[in-house]
């Protein structure tokens, strides 16, 4: 979050980085903090629009990324009735201590477009190669759209920089064509200048003295891979089937076969919108899945790649094999490749589209490929309007079927197309609750952050709230849907769920009564016995009655009934240890569960929407699956095995059936995790359930879901869809 400081109707704040989706909220800042932040090199925000009561703005688009001079972004209010939409704001660094820039009631205007800019362009750049009225079919592989009125092809970085300065000063929009392999044209003429890097140094390939490779951004990846192979370098064969240019591949961190172009980058060079040059070393760059750290306004001009040595013939053979494999698996037609981004690793957008029965679906001259559902085929003369309508239909179908809101991977010549696609099938905002005040707070914060990240990959706008008291804030009361990722305490024992139920707010997970029953280990024991679910012998002790239960024998497990993550659990080996163990665990509760210790193999089974996943076998490093074995690993790492090698097929089926019975008997919703010990005779014993289990991407429920074919993004999206479908 970014805090805004309101002073006398002016708004300012100190931040270092911003991203789309960031929330700007009101706050206070003293003069000393202001001065220190400026001296430390942070940039200073000046935002327009709204009164302090408006409270929250969301950054919806980055127009120019952070530089030492200025960043331009578009922010819109979360409450349109209070705040005017569409305001543009700037980040400035050149401020003195205490200086505030007055805010107007309208957006800071972009430079007015000079009417005769084309004439001025020809005069200013007499050697610049200019071509008029080029059809998109001659510029892109997709061939969607009409014509480009004016295309410029600069021959060197200096000419490109001068051209960008000219366009910026004259208020002229620019459209970067690149290799054209993932660009969709527009039907109406583009009201600016299209730029393509094809000539001169932009297509160069040079082996540097330090055995790195300097490459022009216009080089197509197949040709780059072949040139590198002939020079004795490898590493590019897995990416060689991607038809686009190096610059375009870097912009989206293109990947294939488990490899990504960003992994090979040693240095990048480019040109910013204002004509200034930009460069970055590998240490400055953090790459993500289909995400690039390159500022949005930068046109990449060249890259230095660190490639491993390789035998030329071996590498060229691998490149030929990759080209043949891609020809076999991808349709031969006018296409832009994958239209939508895969929402998660291992979760193919094409498979999601196929599951909606959309293969072969047509809109005008566009068709969903029957070979690869994430490819749209242009059968001849397809319009941008056809494309937008078909993509909207696909997004709506996938959202209805899976809860995932696919995000376009295509680049659109019309900058408003993406916004229209999103507006036509808007994803509801999810409020993720995390933190709490229990001993499991740190685990909850990690789980909440992981859930929020997965939901964003699934296309949702997400608000994260660290809820430290059992109360519903105004933001929670107004939420469209809540995803509680609270472990222990009020977040898991039903109190928070009861508040949400009473407020009529839809939420993920079991209802309040079910959460209370599953959370309380003593109540759980009673319910399991009532429904003939196998569980270890047990008894209850209190502060007033500390005597060891007569019908149990050592060793036993002493458990605080309202704790989780193995907090408040002690193994008591003998009568000599009994009183000391009681004192330790009574710190958590006034009544304790005493449970017969069962020696055996630990296992857990996730139940999602009433169906059990495959059991996971748990092998802790030191015998007991305690807090260290789960999270800290001081005593070694725990092994999680799926499929479980120690169990027979019959045992696995029994574990799944018992878990599904637990889900039904405890009236759970959405999910539950059931923990077992399989004793020395092969009999399963239920230890406990967990209605709000750990939810990092390496936690047990996501592990089980992944083994069942559900990615983390799809799992979280499905749970949100469940909550929205049933309402409050």
What amino acid positions are annotated as catalytic residues? 440, 565, 631, 673, 675, 688, 690, 694
- In sequence order, which residues have a C-beta less than 8 Å from that of residue 342 and are 6 or more positions away? 290, 348, 349
Q: Concatenate the DSSP letters of all residues of 516-550 into one string.
A: HHHH-HHHHHHHHHHTT--B--EEEEESS--SPPT
- Cβ distance 296 to 258 under 8 Å? no
Residue identified by tokens 């080089």 is 219
Work out whether strand 213-216 and strand 205-207 pair parallel, antiparallel, or are unpaired: antiparallel
For residue 373, how many C-alpha atoms fall within 13 Å in the half-sphere facing its CB? 18
User: What ranges in 509-648 are assigned the alpha helix state H?
Assistant: 512-519, 521-530, 578-585, 627
CA triplet 450, 453, 455: central angle to 5 degrees? 110
Q: Is the peptide bond before 594 cis (omega within 30 degrees of 0)?
A: no
128 vs 160: CA distance, rounded Å? 10
The 591-596 sheet, strands edge to edge = 538-542, 591-596, 556-559, 569-572
Other beta carbons less than 10 A from residue 563's beta carbon = 21
602 vs 721: CA distance, rounded Å? 32
Kindly give the interhelix angle for 221-230 and 312-329, rounded to the nearest 10 degrees. 160
Residue identified by tokens 């240095």 is 267
| Burial (0-12, 13-18, 19+ Cβ within 10 Å), 632 | exposed
- In sequence order, which residues have a C-beta less than 8 Å from that of residue 19 and are 6 or more positions away? 59, 62
- In sequence order, which residues have a C-beta less than 8 Å from that of residue 313 and are 6 or more positions away? none
Chain center to CA of 250: 19
Lookup: tokens for 206: 């040079």
Return the closest-CA partner of residue 120 out of 196, 193, 189, 195. 193
Give SS3 for 219: coil
Express the helix, strand and coil content of the chain in percent, nearest 5 each.
30, 25, 40
362 vs 457: CA distance, rounded Å? 27
512 vs 667: CA distance, rounded Å? 10
CA triplet 683, 684, 687: central angle to 5 degrees? 140
- 285-to-187, 243, 409 alpha-carbon distances in Å: 36, 24, 21
Return the closest-CA partner of residue 636 out of 653, 622, 626. 622
Other beta carbons less than 10 A from residue 420's beta carbon = 13
The secondary element (H helix, E strand) that includes residue 92 is: strand 87-92
Lookup: tokens for 76: 């819109």
User: What ranges in 237-310 are assigned the alpha helix state H?
Assistant: 246-252
330 vs 369: CA distance, rounded Å? 9
């Amino acid at each position: 979050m970014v805090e805004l400081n309101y002073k006398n109707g002016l708004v300012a704040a100190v931040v270092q980085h911003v991203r789309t989706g960031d929330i700007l909220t009101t706050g206070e800042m003293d003069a000393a903090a202001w001065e220190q932040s400026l001296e430390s090199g942070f940039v200073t925000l000046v935002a327009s629009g709204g009164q302090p009561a408006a409270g929250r703005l969301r950054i919806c688009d980055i127009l120019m990324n952070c530089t030492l001079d200025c960043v331009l972004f578009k922010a819109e209010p979360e409450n349109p009735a209070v705040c005017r939409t569409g305001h543009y704001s700037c980040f400035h660094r050149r401020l003195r201590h205490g200086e505030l820039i007055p805010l107007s009631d309208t957006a800071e205007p972009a430079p007015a477009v000079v009417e005769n800019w084309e004439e001025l362009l020809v005069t200013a750049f007499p050697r610049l190669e200019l071509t008029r009225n080029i059809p998109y079919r001659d510029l892109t592989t997709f061939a969607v759209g009409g014509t480009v009125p004016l295309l410029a092809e600069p021959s060197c970085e200096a000419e490109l920089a001068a051209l960008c300065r000219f366009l910026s000063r004259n208020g002229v929009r620019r459209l970067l064509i690149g290799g054209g392999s993932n660009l969709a044209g527009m039907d109406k003429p583009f009201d600016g200048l299209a730029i393509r890097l094809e000539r001169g140094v932009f297509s160069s390939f040079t082996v540097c003295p330090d055995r790195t490779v300097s490459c022009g951004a216009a080089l197509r990846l197949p040709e780059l891979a072949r040139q590198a192979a002939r020079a004795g370098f490898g590493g590019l064969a897995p990416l060689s089937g991607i038809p686009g240019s190096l610059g375009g591949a870097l912009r989206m961190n293109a990947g294939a076969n488990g490899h990504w172009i960003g992994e090979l980058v040693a240095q990048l060079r480019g040109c910013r919108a204002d004509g200034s040059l930009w460069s970055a070393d590998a240490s400055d760059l953090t790459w993500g899945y289909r995400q690039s750290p390159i500022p949005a306004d930068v046109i990449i001009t060249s890259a230095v790649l660190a490639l491993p040595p390789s035998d030329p013939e071996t590498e060229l053979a691998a490149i030929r094999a990759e080209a043949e494999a891609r020809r076999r698996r991808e349709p031969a037609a006018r296409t832009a490749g994958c239209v939508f981004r895969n929402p998660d690793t291992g979760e193919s957008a094409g498979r999601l589209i196929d599951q909606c029965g959309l293969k072969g679906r047509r809109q005008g001259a566009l068709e969903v490929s029957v070979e690869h559902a994430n490819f749209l085929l242009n059968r001849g003369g397809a319009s941008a309007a056809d494309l937008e309508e078909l993509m909207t239909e696909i997004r709506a179908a996938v959202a209805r079927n899976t809860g995932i809101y696919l995000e376009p991977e295509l680049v659109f010549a019309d900058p408003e197309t993406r916004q229209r696609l999103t507006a036509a099938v808007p994803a509801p905002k999810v409020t993720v609750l995390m933190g709490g005040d229990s001993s499991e707070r740190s685990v909850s914060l990690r789980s909440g952050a992981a859930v929020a990240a997965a939901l964003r990959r699934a296309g949702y706008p997400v608000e994260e709230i660290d809820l430290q008291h059992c109360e519903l804030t105004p933001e929670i009361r107004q939420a469209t849907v809540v995803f509680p990722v609270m472990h222990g305490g009020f977040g898991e024992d039903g109190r928070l769920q009861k508040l949400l139920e009473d407020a009529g707010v839809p939420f993920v997970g079991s209802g309040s009564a079910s959460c209370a029953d599953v959370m309380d280990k003593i109540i759980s024991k009673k319910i399991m016995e009532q429904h003939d679910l196998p569980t270890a012998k047990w008894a209850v002790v209190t502060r007033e009655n500390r005597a060891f239960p007569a019908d149990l024998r050592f060793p036993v497990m002493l458990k605080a009934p309202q704790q989780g993550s193995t907090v408040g659990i002690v193994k008591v080996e003998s009568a000599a240890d009994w009183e000391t163990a009681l004192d330790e665990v009574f710190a958590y509760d006034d009544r304790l569960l005493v449970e017969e210790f069962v020696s055996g193999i630990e296992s857990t089974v996730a139940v999602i929407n009433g169906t059990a996943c495959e059991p996971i076998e748990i092998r802790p490093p030191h015998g007991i699956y305690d807090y260290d074995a789960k999270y800290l690993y001081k005593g070694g790492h725990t092994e999680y095995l799926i499929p479980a090698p120690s169990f027979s097929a019959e045992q696995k089926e029994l574990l799944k059936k018992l878990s599904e019975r637990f889900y039904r008997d405890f009236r759970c919703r959405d999910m539950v995790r059931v923990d077992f010990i399989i004793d020395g005779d092969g009999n399963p014993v239920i230890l406990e359930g967990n209605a709000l289990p750990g939810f990092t991407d390496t936690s047990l429920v996501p592990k089980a879901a992944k083994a069942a074919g559900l990615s983390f993004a799809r799992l979280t999206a499905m749970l949100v869809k469940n909550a929205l479908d049933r309402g409050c």
